[in-house]
Amino acid sequence: MPIFPDLLSPLEPGDTVGIVAPASCFDTDLFEKGVKNLQAQGFNVHTPQAAYRREGYLAGTDQDRAESFQDLWRDPQIKAVVCSRGGYGTLRLLPLLDYDRLARTPKIFVGYSDITGLMETLMTRCGFPVFHGPVITGLGRHPSHALSLAQCLRGNLPKIWAPEHPSVIVPGKAQGFLAGGNLTTLCHLAGTQFQPDYSGKILFLEDVGEAPYRIDRMLVHLRLCGMLNNVRGIILGSFYNCGEDGEIKRVMADCLGGLGCPILGEFPAGHGAENQTFPLGVPVSLDTELASLEFFPA
């Protein structure tokens, strides 16, 4: 029996996926390739004209982007919302959205990277899960990512998620709801009204293009803000172009090892060559001896 998050409905063949541009503007050719790769999985794709707007390095003004997102959410024909790309700008939308209204019609929402801020806020303010997965331009670069995304959209979630080459940083077992995302973006939520609470949760982290000392600084910042108090476990995705793997593992062990929770790395998600889709805001069980994450444990 396929598992799927409560409150959300899996897509059927021919259902419509809406595309939103909440952050940076995108390369049109790469975007169109990504749309075709998503359509090839059996979905209709609707891209509102607003997604093509430009306002400097952003995909339109803050108000444009917020209104486009809420318009897609209100449309009953749109069964899921996927982001065009990340980059920068999503945090600017957070004060502009009507979360009470969004919460009345839970929908599948997919994104990562800069979209982390919106994903975390939807989970916190609206109370429904989201999906960490590729954006449309990412599907243009990596067509293979569309298969994992489509399987999750259809409701075929893996029961067990195990890295091919796991890295146990701190051994142990833990259970809790899965949350998190891009480390840099989470740091920019700290100290704001949108700062998430990770007490009792399993935290996922990933990043791109950050030197080890900057990753160190961000992890220390999260600890000083209290955001890592009572975290039950941590899983790590890719830290792409962030230095040598051994150095990143050393930083993780040094900065997070004292939390007293299990830490397991090398999950195939984030900015690297693999970016598998998986749900956030759902119960999971982490076991470093089995080197796996179990979704919806009994």
Catalytic residue numbers read: 113, 206, 271
Q: What is the CA radius of gyration of the chain?
A: 18
Give the integer Cα–Cα distance in Å for 44 and 163. 32
